[in-house]
Amino acid sequence: MTFSESYIAFLIHFHGDRDYFECHEVLEDHWKNNGMARDSIWVGLIQMAVSFYHYRRGNVKGSLKLIDKAIHLLSYKKEEVLELGINYEKLIKRLKKSKLSMKHNIPYKPIIIPINDLTLLAVCKDQCVKIGCVWGHFLYDAPENIVHKHTLRDRASIIPERQLTLV
């Protein structure tokens, strides 16, 4: 099976540099540029990544809200999850376990998305090596520019767009 570059980039950020904000950016562009529905599997994966972004930053309320949404959306996307080379049952189990950790204020711990497609896994691991990351490394202490990315980014190009949507 062939997977989109956006999906592969998402997986590399999720498992390599643990840049969950970038996971969100990559898949949001893919989702918007392909005119997909609001209940698209991509939205569930975006919600999952943003949940871990908030979790690592200590925003328990935000992380719980988004992981709930991700679990709900992904729960009725089993076939699509499987088509992405992911072990559906293991993913849902890991998300529910992470939700419990969030709920009980257990410090952030990353997860591994259980990928069954060995070709996809090999491509992702190879790409990680090329960018200097270790696939699946349990990176707890990411650099500040990754942990607080949304507060540090240049929003000059985004502000006019947001203003138009408020009108």
Tokens encoding 51: 């949940």
Q: What is the pLDDT of residues 63-119, one digit of tens each?
A: 999 999 999 999 999 999 999 999 999 999 999 999 999 999 999 999 999 999 999
Residue 121 CB coordination number (10 Å): 17
pTM: 0.83
Q: What is the pLDDT of residues 1-18, one digit of tens each?
A: 689 999 999 999 999 889
pLDDT at 56 over 80: yes
Arch. (CATH architecture) of 5-166: Orthogonal Bundle (1.10)
Ramachandran class of 16: left when φ > 0, alpha when ψ lies in -120 to 50, beta otherwise: alpha
Q: In angstroms, rounded to a whole number, what is the distance separating the alpha carbons of residues 3 and 7?
A: 7
